[in-house]
Amino acid sequence: MADVQIDTAEILRNVTEKDSLFKTTVVSKEIDLTLDLGNLLAVDENVLKDKQISAKNNSTYLLNLNRDNVQILLNSIWELPSERVEDAILVPLPPPTTEIPREKPLPKAKKETKWEAYAKLKGIKSKKTEKLVWDKTHQEYRPAWGYKRANDETKDWMIEVPANADPFEDQYAKRKEAKSERVAKNEYQRLRNIAKNSKGKVPTADLAPSLKPSKEQVNLALSVAKTSTASVGKFTKALPRENEVKKPKGKKRKFESNTGSLSEEKERQLSVLNMMKNKQPRLNTDVAIKQNRKEEIEQRRSQIGDGKPMSKKLARKQAAILSGKKSKAFKGGKRKKGRK
Per-residue pLDDT of the chain (340 residues; tens, 9 = 90+): 444 456 777 777 777 777 667 777 888 888 888 899 999 999 998 888 878 777 777 888 888 889 999 999 999 998 999 888 888 889 999 999 888 888 888 888 888 888 889 999 999 988 888 889 898 888 899 998 888 888 887 788 888 888 888 888 888 889 889 999 999 999 998 888 888 777 655 455 556 667 778 888 887 887 788 888 888 777 888 777 776 656 556 677 877 777 777 888 888 888 888 877 776 666 677 788 888 888 888 877 776 655 555 566 666 766 666 555 554 544 444 455 555 4
Handedness of CA 50, 52, 56, 57 (dihedral sign): negative
- Asked whether the beta carbons of 226 and 245 are under 8 A apart, the reply is yes
Look up the pTM and report it. 0.31
Same domain, 17 and 76: yes
Same domain, yes or no: 23 and 74? yes
- Cβ atoms of 46 and 28 within 8 Å: the answer is no
Alpha-carbon distance of 102 to 104, in angstroms, equals: 5
Would you put residue 239 in left (φ > 0), alpha (ψ -120 to 50) or beta? beta
| Residue 288 covered by a domain | no
Determine, yes or no, domain membership for 21: yes
Residue 186 burial by Cβ neighbours in a 10 Å radius (0-12, 13-18, 19+): exposed
Query: What is the reported pLDDT for 54?
Result: 79
Q: How many domains does the chain have?
A: 2
222 in a structural domain: no
139 in a structural domain: yes
Per-residue DSSP letters for 89-155? EE-PPPPP-S-PPPSSPPPPPPPPPHHHHHHHHHT--PPPPPSEEEETTTTEEEESSSTT-TT-GGG
Same domain flag for 12 and 85: yes
Residue 41, domain member (yes or no): yes
Cα gap 318→321, rounded to integer Å: 5
Residue 29 near residue 44, CB atoms below 8 Å: yes
The answer to whether position 307 is within a domain reads: no
Q: What is the pLDDT of residue 185?
A: 92
Q: The domain containing residue 146 runs over which residues? A: 131-157
Going by C-alpha positions, the residue among 247, 228, 248, 226 that lies closest to residue 237 is 226
49 within a domain of the structure (yes/no): yes
Distance CA 64, CA 274 (A): 41
Residue 310 is assigned to a structural domain of this protein: no
